[in-house]
Structure 1
Amino acid sequence: MEQLLTVAPDVHLWTEQRGSAGAPPLLLIMGAGASGLGWPEPLVDALAVDHRVIRYDHRDTGRSTWAFEQRPYRITDLAEDAVAVLDGLGVERAHVVGMSLGGMLTQLLVADHPDRVLSATLIGTSALSTAPYTRPDGTRAPVEELPGVSPEVLKIWSHLAEERDREAELDWRVAHWRVLAGGQLPFDAAYFRDLEERIIEHAGGPATSPAHALADDSGMLRTEALATTEVPVQVILAPAEPVFPPPHAQHIAQAIRGARLTEIPGMGHALPAGLLPALATAILSATATPGPQPT
């Protein structure tokens, strides 16, 4: 079921729900510049067997409002959008899964709205924490020493804002996914082209917005709140991750109280078909964990 929700004055977000209305809610939050259709259909279907799955388009993506130039916003506002989606759909508490920027937004929900989060699964992201990273040998490193984005990703991102027609845009997006996938597993170009064709059709065209790159990202650190949270958190460890390479996942698990690591061999910063069953299993294992009870 699709629904357009008003989350702020003149701001509307496209949402979709799948699965039984009476099942435990599960909110999917995609990354920067990505619409809700970035969550592959087989993954959504697998999760919807046990959950009322909710996905949505961020502002300036898909069928949601595109108006950053007229009404600029902060990255933290995107986290409040997620809360507004739950409110608009009458959901008191939900399991939350966040990918990339969506993983950061999920951490903001865990820190700022723990009463709304039953569990959290973080994929391809970094900790909103200044806590140092403890290496396997016991020595500690400041977060500034964690590895940055790979040169291959930075190179393809340098062409992100170039104007392209539909076919050239599709070619670029597939090439982008090839780099993001990390190279440890065979790459299925046809699968990612089909994914992007559906995303473009959903949005009504191949246009993209730099809004999330331009949005104010200050005020996002939640070191103390994450270190003391009672929300069950799972961190997906992707060995081939090129945007937030290991040990970012390990650092998140150290920075968030009680967080557990789940490795998915061969995974990078993408959701290829071959890894979806393992990812669905990991997410469902997290949602089966009892969360904090209301007081």
Structure 2
Amino acid sequence: MPTTPPSADGIEIWYTTDGDPSGAPLLMVMGLGAQHQEWDDELVALFVDRGFFVVRFDNRDVGLSTKPDVGDLDVGAAMMASLGGAPVEAPYLLSDMAADAVAVLDDLDIASAHVLGASMGGMIAQTLAIEHPERVRTLTSVMSTTGAQDVGQPTPEILGVLLATPPTDREQAVERGVVVANAIGSPGLVDEDKARQKAGAAWDRCAYPPGTGHQLLAIVASPDRTPGLRQLDVPTLVIHGSVDPLVTPSGGEATAAAVPGAQLRMIEGMAHDVPPVHWPELVEDVVALATGADVPAAG
């Protein structure tokens, strides 16, 4: 599979595509510590069936993309300091990760794309729309937030899960995958077997736990996007789960409130995941946004 040419700071981004290149390009941006396959192949196939040319990629510091040399970095200490109000120094910012996404579009000769981002991927997608508006046809921000400190913050219990000691072997990684799925997943819809399979597959493909911490610092160190979101002139849809404990619903509400004309879909009972039961409506929502239609009201 291809990678982008090295950037000025030596970053190469691995990407993959699905569907007919003549279709409407859909760039799917994944979240914290997650490789491209966290966007399930079955979900991607639904988008392809609706005429999209789907592009997925590994963010820097995960999967087969470049892992920057950040030296001796104590992520835990930096995060604790940030909770006390101290400034955070990060090896890179969300702006750099948005530039990585642009590099993927450039390598594919895609002038602009519909952009769908989940969690940290939503933050990257928002940053992409703010800093590179000519590259974004529509913006769909899922279970994400604005970067403002008074919205979208995780519950204390979930923060503890997030900052737990990273796994050091495959068995630990699989077990942690189940723990995290149960902690942040939609009540009654968590598939533990699938969580084990995905965690094991991610470990086998490329295990690099430090990357998650580096990305977390990028999130914390990046500025509030609210002023930039208020200036957007792009069709925008915000999707959020009503019981999301990791990026609490106020984050989605604030995002939709900031972007002029944005549509908000709050999905009752959904947490920090998009279970298969919600895939059809997600696809229909993105199709509606891409074609200029109003997103249907939630059922």
1:84 and 2:103 are equivalent in the alignment = yes
The letter for the 1-side match of 2:158 is: V
Mapping of residues 115-194 of structure 1, within 5 Å: 115-128=134-147, 144=150, 146=151, 148-159=153-164, 161-183=165-187, 185-194=188-197
Q: For 1:17, what is the secondary structure of its paired residue?
A: strand
Q: What residue is the counterpart of 1:29 in the other structure?
A: 29
The letter for the 2-side match of 1:154 is: L
Per-residue CA distance 1:213-257 (angstroms, 9 max, x = gap): 234854533434321321000000211211121232122111111
1:47 and 2:51 are equivalent in the alignment = no
Compute the displacement of 1:270 (Å).
Answer: 1.3
Q: What residue is the counterpart of 2:15 in the other structure?
A: 15
Aligned partners of 1:27 and 1:65: how far apart in 2?
Answer: 19
Q: What residue is the counterpart of 1:264 in the other structure?
A: 267
- Summarize the Cα distance change of 1:73–1:225 in structure 2 as closer, same or farther, 3 Å threshold: closer
Q: Any gaps of 5 or more consecutive residues in structure 1?
A: 131-142, 291-295
- Summarize the Cα distance change of 1:114–1:180 in structure 2 as closer, same or farther, 3 Å threshold: same
Q: For 1:122, what is the secondary structure of its paired residue?
A: strand
Q: Indicate if the aligned counterparts of 1:174 and 1:193 stay in contact, CA closer than 8 A.
A: yes
- Summarize the Cα distance change of 1:213–1:115 in structure 2 as closer, same or farther, 3 Å threshold: same
Compute the displacement of 1:182 (Å).
Answer: 4.0
Q: What residue is the counterpart of 2:121 in the other structure?
A: 102
Q: Which moved more, 1:214-223 or 1:96-105?
A: 214-223
Q: For 2:255, what is the secondary structure of its paired residue?
A: helix
- Summarize the Cα distance change of 1:118–1:33 in structure 2 as closer, same or farther, 3 Å threshold: same
Q: For 2:5, what is the secondary structure of its paired residue?
A: strand
Match of 2:252 among 230, 233, 249: 249
Q: Indicate if the aligned counterparts of 1:73 and 1:216 stay in contact, CA closer than 8 A.
A: no
- Summarize the Cα distance change of 1:39–1:216 in structure 2 as closer, same or farther, 3 Å threshold: closer
Q: What residue is the counterpart of 2:61 in the other structure?
A: 60
Q: What residue is the counterpart of 1:134 in the other structure?
A: none
Aligned partners of 2:108 and 2:177: how far apart in 1?
Answer: 32
Percent of aligned positions that are identical: 29
Match of 2:276 among 248, 273, 295: 273
Compute the displacement of 1:207 (Å).
Answer: 4.3
Compute the displacement of 1:16 (Å).
Answer: 0.4
Q: What residue is the counterpart of 2:81 in the other structure?
A: none
Q: Indicate if the aligned counterparts of 1:262 and 1:282 stay in contact, CA closer than 8 A.
A: no
Q: TM-score, normalized by length of structure 2?
A: 0.83
Per-residue CA distance 1:81-130 (angstroms, 9 max, x = gap): 111111111100100001111111111111111111000100111124x6
Q: Any gaps of 5 or more consecutive residues in structure 2?
A: 72-89, 294-299
Q: For 1:200, what is the secondary structure of its paired residue?
A: helix
Compute the displacement of 1:208 (Å).
Answer: 4.5
Compute the displacement of 1:158 (Å).
Answer: 3.0
Q: TM-score, normalized by length of structure 1?
A: 0.85
Q: Indicate if the aligned counterparts of 2:173 and 2:203 stay in contact, CA closer than 8 A.
A: no
Aligned partners of 1:245 and 1:182: how far apart in 2?
Answer: 13
Q: Which moved more, 1:190-199 or 1:170-179?
A: 190-199
Q: How many residues align?
A: 272
Compute the displacement of 1:267 (Å).
Answer: 1.5
The letter for the 2-side match of 1:4 is: T
Mapping of residues 214-253 of structure 1, within 5 Å: 214-215=217-218, 217-218=220-221, 220-253=223-256
Higher helix content, 1 or 2: 2
Q: Indicate if the aligned counterparts of 1:5 and 1:13 stay in contact, CA closer than 8 A.
A: yes
The letter for the 2-side match of 1:202 is: R
Q: Indicate if the aligned counterparts of 1:119 and 1:289 stay in contact, CA closer than 8 A.
A: no
Per-residue CA distance 1:33-71 (angstroms, 9 max, x = gap): 211111111111111221110010011100111124269
